[in-house]
Amino acid sequence: MPTEVTMPQMGESIFEGTLTKWLKKVGDKVSRDEPLFEISTDKVDAEIPAPSAGVLSEIKVQEGATVQVNTVVAMIAEEGSTSQTASAAQPAKLMPQAQATSAAQPAPPAPAPAAAPSAPPALPSATGKGIDVTMPQMGESIFEGTLTKWLKKVGDKVSRDEPLFEISTDKVDAEIPAPASGVLSEINVQEGATVQVNTVVAVIAGEGSQTASAPPAPSQSTAPAAPSTPAAPPQQAPAAQSAAPAAASASLAERLRSSPLVRKIAKDNNVDLHQLSGTGNAGRITKEDILGFIAQHGKAAPAPPLGVPAPSRAMAPQQPTAAAPLSSAAAPVGAPGEIVPMSKMRSIIAKRMAESKHTSAHVHTVFKVDMTRIVKIREKEKSKFEQRNGVKLTYMPFITRAVLAGIKAMPIVNTSVEGESIRYHKSVNVGIAVALDWGLIVPVVKKVEEKSFLGIQRAIHDVAERARGKKLQPDEVFGGTFTITNPGIFGPQFGMPIINQPQVAILGMGGLFKEPVVITDKDGNDSIAIRHIIRLTLGYDHRIIDGADADKFMVVVRNYLENWSEEIG
């Protein structure tokens, strides 16, 4: 009998999710545990595996739709069953987002078309002038999106499910597929505009319909609509300078699986993506793939055949060995004197940081820690450690073990505020801040008190790598009770981190430096020696944690590190 595919639970206190992409189409064979579709919330993107083997016989929820957990989104039939054919012949199931989320609301009146469109009548979003293309729902509590790029221009033929435009919110960048085949007859929203979900951004007319060449009515609420000819409007002139670049870009999108960020990095560095072998799902080219290629081969000379003009605000290429600052990855770079609007993610980060400062009474204490003993242990053991265990030996598990010792001594640091009460958490779940190309995410290593040194190193490496590759499971970004952030990789002496709500403390790691230090021997004699020094900053909520308790916690952390005695595995 057929197997129901449901929207999974997205994490703690999350009751809905957005289906961002189908990785299979109706009629495709699927294997059990093979990635079937992608989902997104404001915290995590994840691939959801098929619950059984068979044939994808029915898709009930279209890309871009937001639905409650446990909603049936598809059906998998056994191979050879008659339900495959019957379900595959139901295109009406694939409703555009505007109809899926607001079916109970009457559609806005549409201007009379010049001629009857030839769009398939089974598509419920068809209007008198063609198929409406809408801004999809991008995730929980997200009510608008920014249209960042059109992948087609007015007059271009489009195929159903072919990438049509790119959108961006504070948590995700995504390509939005065409809801039907035909000709792109109108563009109602220009690149860079931010609009509410379900806004009609374009219209697709059936091939041969006069609608594709008829001038669209101007709109007062959105940017000017596209003119009646296949040329793009004046605001889109750079994209319309040549038909060849658009065709090449569309062809590239069809043959290669990659994200908008990957293609932008490739374009900024004149890299032909056909030279790369993708390591992602189904050969998808990941950010790590393109950055690794650039690191190995460097930038290529400009490629005249594509003829794509360089953007006025190019994103600076990032080094693959370290997470880049958010500003270089998420925001455009303006010229001196220029006003550049915040990216969607930057505006949300600004809001969240201000909310945390408003919620918690932030106080910081900075401790100098002599890491010489640990530096020597690491230098001596790192090669054997990696050969023996398959992961590199970093300083993070040393710091995490010291934090665990500090929390055992001062449990108040591992709490959260609930109304007028304080919740003491049973486990120590450490969030590890990871800088991503689209922002910042804090995956959580659960129950570190139950893990060995090696187990902590493996867990940190695992969640950080999967965070960068969008492979985290939903519950891996929830439930943190204490956070560690490491801006020291960029060289600061120390920082003043902001608390990750609803936690009450965060530890910031400064840079590791050689410094002259006064050493007193057992006889009381002083001498100067060169030592490896790090500055650790504890940001804490003074509503809950007193200064004396915060300093006692840091004394335990410092002593644990300076007198390290554990086996590292």
> Which residues are part of the catalytic machinery?
542, 546
Residues facing 529 on adjacent strands? 517
Distance of CA 128 to the CA centre of its chain: 38
Residue 52 burial (C-beta neighbours within 10 Å; 0-12, 13-18, 19+): middle
Q: What angle do CA 158, 163, 168 make, to 5 degrees?
A: 135
CA distance 285 to 297: 16
Question: How many other C-beta atoms are found inside a 10 Å radius of the C-beta of residue 558?
Answer: 18
Structure tokens, 50: 């098929």
Q: How many residues does the chain have?
A: 569
Q: What is the DSSP letter of 503?
A: B
In angstroms, the CA 303 to CA 47 distance is 35
Q: 43 with 61: CB under 8 angstroms?
A: no
Alpha carbon 23 to its chain centroid, in Å, reads 18
Q: Which of 52, 75, 57, 68 is nearest to 5 (CA)?
A: 75
Per-position DSSP letters for 359-426, written without gaps between them? HS-EEEEEEEEE-HHHHHHHHHHHHHHHHHHSS---SHHHHHHHHHHHHHH-GGGGEEEETTEEEEPS
- Where is 547: in which H helix or E strand? helix 547-562
- Where do the DSSP E strands lie in 425-481? 430-432, 434-436, 439-441, 444-445
Round to whole Å and give the CA distance between 513 and 375: 11
Instruction: Give residues with Cβ within 8 angstroms of 53, minimum separation 6.
Output: 30, 31, 32, 76
Nearest-angstrom CA–CA distance, 258 and 262: 6
Centre a 10 Å sphere on the Cβ of residue 47 and count the other Cβ atoms it contains: 17
Q: How far apart are CA 292 and CA 208, in angstroms?
A: 45
Let me know: does 163 contact 149? Beta carbons within 8 Å: no
- Cα separation, 251 vs 306, in Å, equals 12
Distance (Å, whole) CA 240 – CA 339: 26
How far apart are alpha carbons 211 and 217 in whole angstroms? 12
Give the count of beta carbons closer than 10 Å to the beta carbon of residue 120. Answer: 15
Cα–Cα distance measured from residue 291 to residue 144, given in angstroms and rounded to the nearest whole number:
31
Cα–Cα nearest to 263, from 252, 255, 278 = 252
User: 470: alpha, beta or left, given left = phi > 0 and alpha = psi -120 to 50?
Assistant: left
